[in-house]
Structure 1
Amino acid sequence: MIFLKTDDEIELLRQSNLLVGRTLAEVAKMIQPGVTTKQLDKVAEEFIRDHGAIPTFKGFPNPYGSPFPGTLCTSVNDQVVHGIPNDIPLKDGDIVSVDCGTFMNGFCGDSAYTFCVGEVDPEIVKLLKVTKESLYKGIENAVHGKRLGDIGYSIQEYCEAHSYGVVREFVGHGIGKEMHEDPPVPNYGRRGTGTLLKKGMCIAIEPMITMGNRQIVMEEDRWTIRTRDRKCAAHFEHTVAVGVGKADILSSFEFIEQVLGDKAI
């Protein structure tokens, strides 16, 4: 069932999502060679709780009965999504997707950004840029009267034109009082097909794009998703409210980009 949100509910969603953006900015301040993803996770959890919210990922169950142990999903290089924070230091040339969720005032926030660690290969930087650009291509189609397939098609067409793979098995989602609500929001599809978009629908759009083919595997931890060919993957995510003529982006990369300056993707 898809729940349309009132203007007041959308503002509560915005508050949760802006906190995610500020949390990711705190993480951005720390990202450099030698830092561990577990250190990033600790800072994020403290920041979220200090602002009166709860990290929604921590303890979240998967179908195998394993609660997620971290506040952040930290996915390095060939990890696509759901990487578990650990004590392995990040290295110069790595990329790391940081996905963060909050619960505050009864509503959820969810956003992700892929960061460069030190000096990264230009071809990998291009993957990040195209993935981020594809997110905004999808958002341009999150308007009243269009369909979900229009969002997925715009992302898929843009990324495949650059010869990248578009992950099929993991998709975006509706969001509200629950982190994952209907409808699923694929990053692929056909124009004019799928669920009709209506004002007040709130969705998380999150392209997961691979440098090689789109095949993925799950690691033994039953959480971490990697590319089968071990080539890098990128992941960017915004939570948006479907609007008339234009989507309303409820999350923000502005805080992150203020920290990164000219190093922002």
Structure 2
Amino acid sequence: MHLQGNIFVVTGGASGLGHQVVKSIVEQDGYAIIMDINATGANKAVQSLGSDKVYSSGSVDVTSEEQVQRAIKGGLSYFNSNNKDKESVPSLLLAGAVLCSGIVLSPQKIQGYGPDKHLTSYSQFKHVLSVNLLGTYNVAQQVAQTIIENNKPLDEDGERGIIITTSSMLGLDGTLVGYGTSKAGIAGMTLPLARELASFGIRVMSIAPGPFETPMKNVLPGANPPVSLFPKRHGYPHEFSDLVLQIITNPMLNGSVIRLDGGLRG
């Protein structure tokens, strides 16, 4: 699949790994629909990367079916109404999604339990899973539905689209009850979802990164994430987006979780 001339949803596109993915899509002459709860950051991304290639409908809660649906429809309508090559390219299609949004902790108002309330309460667990796991599936399902309804096969293999999710090494290695479980769930649904969507020509892949140089690295108070086995540093956002581009363009990558952690294990 090519990025050029195709539209991709990017959740968490206002900052961090998601923002770098949006930049890479634009550099490849693709189009990006940003879904992010941070409307200010999303609008800044549109302004800096160009409103001809990037769209945001404002603040989008990925756990809301209505907000996600509105963002997808709004982005498709926006890009096609501004398509200067309508004669040669009748309609720009939604070709996939790169799902990077997520939270590590629940809001401070949702308290834990046990000594000093440091243990994960049901309310905290439920909130993190709702955003990370259910939010990821909500967007993935609606993107898949849009592709199935609108897209014809893009190549001789019959490929119509791709969904790339973001798991975490913490989900694979069993760290942090809420966050780790939500990311393990994302990894766990990769192959079943790929099997479910295979007959429609939609691939599903997941990336499980280690610590990267993004704002999320500093979310846990006092935490000092370890560096990779080699190279002995944290990952750079462009290394994540480089892998995203490789997954999109390589049709044999399907149904798998790729660790992107430089050999680091929890």
TM-score by length of 2: 0.27
Give the number of the structure whose residues are more often strand, by fraction.
Answer: 1
Larger Rg: 2
TM-score by length of 1: 0.27
Considering Cα pairs closer than 8 Å and 6+ residues apart, tell me whether 1 or 2 has the greater RCO. Answer: 1
Give the number of the structure whose residues are more often helix, by fraction.
Answer: 2
